[in-house]
Amino acid sequence: MAYEPPFTLTSEILSRVADIAEQVGRLTAQPEQGMDLRLRRVNRIRTITGSLAIEGNTLSEEQITAILNGKPVLAPPRDVQEARNALLVYEQLPNWQASHEADLLAAHKLLMTGLLDNPGQYRSGGVGVMQGDKVLHMAPPASRVRELMQQLFAWVKQSNAHPLIVSSVFHYEFEFIHPFADGNGRMGRLWQTLLLSQWHPALAWLPVESMVHEHQAAYYDAINNSNKASDAAPFVLFMLGCIQQALVAVLEQNAPVNASVNAPVNLKTPQAILQLLADNPALTRQQLADRLGKDLRTIGRAIKKLQDVGALQRRGSDKDGHWQVMNGQAE
C-alpha cells in the first residue's frame, strides 16, 4: 500500500488554509502579482537571510545584498559561501520540479558546494538532531533514507491534499528523515517554498523563511510536538501561521500603493519620512525602508538628521513607542 504520512486535518488548519487562499487571491489579483521587481528582490534577500540565520549564519540583509551585487564583504568565508550558494539556489527555483527527487538532489548539490563532502548525495551515516548534549531526534538509519524519500515523493505526486498542506507535510517529513549529513533545515524550507510556488508563482517571492526565523524556537517546538504525536498537524499549523504572517507583511508592503497613500515620490528621504510619519506615527524603521525603497542605514541616517534639527522626536520605547513630527519640515 502507498505510504501516507500521518496528519490530522484540524478545524484550525482548515480555517488557516481558507484564510491563506483568500489572501493569496488578493495578492495575485494585484498588478505584477502584488510584487514589483524591487519588492521581489527585497523579499528574496529577506528569505535567504532568514533561512541562513536559522543555522547560525551572521550575515545581514545589507551584506547579502552586497554579495548579490558582487561587492566584497568582510565576513567569515563560510558564511559568504553559504550566502552565494543560497542566492544561486533560489534563482534556480523556476527550473526545478518539486515532485522530482533528482531536482532535490541537484538543489542540495548547489546549496552545499564547498561546504560539505558529497553535496547532492544522501547521507551514508547516522544523524541526530541535538540540543546541547541532548538528542532531540534520532533520524532513521542511512540504509532507509533512499526508500523513505522515494515514498515521500510518491505521496507528493499523488496526494489530493491542498498544496498548503502538502508543502508543510513534506517539510515536516523531510526533517524527520533528515536525508542529508547537513543542510536539512535549509533544504526543507527551500522545498516548501518550491511546492508553494508551484501552486501560485507569486509565492516564490514570499519571505516565509524570515517568519520562521522570527519564530525559531516555536519552529523547533512544532517539529518536536509533531515527532511526539507522530502527526504532522502541529507543524502544519505552525507553518500555515508563518505563511499567513508573510502574506500580511507583503500585502502591507503594498498597502500605500493600493490605498493610494503612495510613498512620497521625488522627495528627499528625510522629507518623505516626515510625510509618512505624519500619516502613521507608529511606522517602524523597517516599514519606512520598505515603503521608500531605501535600506535601513539610509533610513537611520535620515531619522538622526531629523532628530538633530528638532523635526522629529521619538515618544516611548523603541519597541512600543511612536514618532512625533514636530514641524512637518525637514532641512
Binding-site residue numbers for ATP are 129-137, 182-189, 219-220, 227
Name the residue with cell 542529508: 180
Q: Which is nearer to ligand ATP, 153 or 220 (CB)?
A: 220
Q: Which is nearer to ligand ATP, 23 or 227 (CB)?
A: 227
Q: Is 178 a catalytic residue?
A: yes
Give the Å distances, CA to CA, from 300 to 125, 155, 273, 294, 303. Answer: 49, 49, 11, 10, 5
* Three-class DSSP category at 131: strand
For the stretch 282-285, contacts whose Cβ atoms lie closer than 8 Å and that sit 24 or more positions apart, written own/partner, are 282/322, 282/323, 283/323
Query: Measured from the CB of residue 287, what is the shortest distance to ligand ATP in angstroms?
Result: 27
Binding-site ranges for ligand ATP (CB under 6 A): 54-55, 129, 136-137, 175-176, 182-186, 188, 220, 223-224, 227
Instruction: Give me 297's grid cell.
Output: 542605514
Residues 6+ positions from 241 with CB-CB distance below 8 Å: 16, 215
Q: Which is nearer to ligand ATP, 182 or 290 (CB)?
A: 182
Query: Measured from the CB of residue 149, what is the shortest distance to ligand ATP in angstroms?
Result: 15
End-to-end CA gap in the chain: 73
When CB distances to ligand ATP are compared, the closest residue is 185
Q: Which is nearer to ligand ATP, 89 or 277 (CB)?
A: 89
Query: Measured from the CB of residue 119, what is the shortest distance to ligand ATP in angstroms?
Result: 12
Helices (H), the chain: 11-29, 37-54, 61-68, 77-92, 101-112, 142-158, 163-177, 184-197, 208-214, 216-229, 233-258, 269-279, 285-292, 296-308
The one catalytic residue in 108, 178, 200, 322 is 178
Query: Measured from the CB of residue 137, what is the shortest distance to ligand ATP in angstroms?
Result: 3
Nearest to 174 by CA among 148, 142, 207: 148
Distance, in Å, from the CA atom of 267 to the CA atom of 264, rounded to the nearest integer, reads: 6
Q: Which is nearer to ligand ATP, 216 or 258 (CB)?
A: 216
Query: Measured from the CB of residue 274, what is the shortest distance to ligand ATP in angstroms?
Result: 40
Q: Which is nearer to ligand ATP, 25 or 114 (CB)?
A: 114
Nearest to 210 by CA among 236, 224, 189, 192: 189
Name the residue with cell 534556480: 92
For the stretch 281-287, contacts whose Cβ atoms lie closer than 8 Å and that sit 24 or more positions apart, written own/partner, are 281/322, 281/323, 281/324, 281/325, 282/322, 282/323, 283/323, 287/252
| Annotation: binding site | 129-137, 182-189, 219-220, 227
Catalytic residues: 178
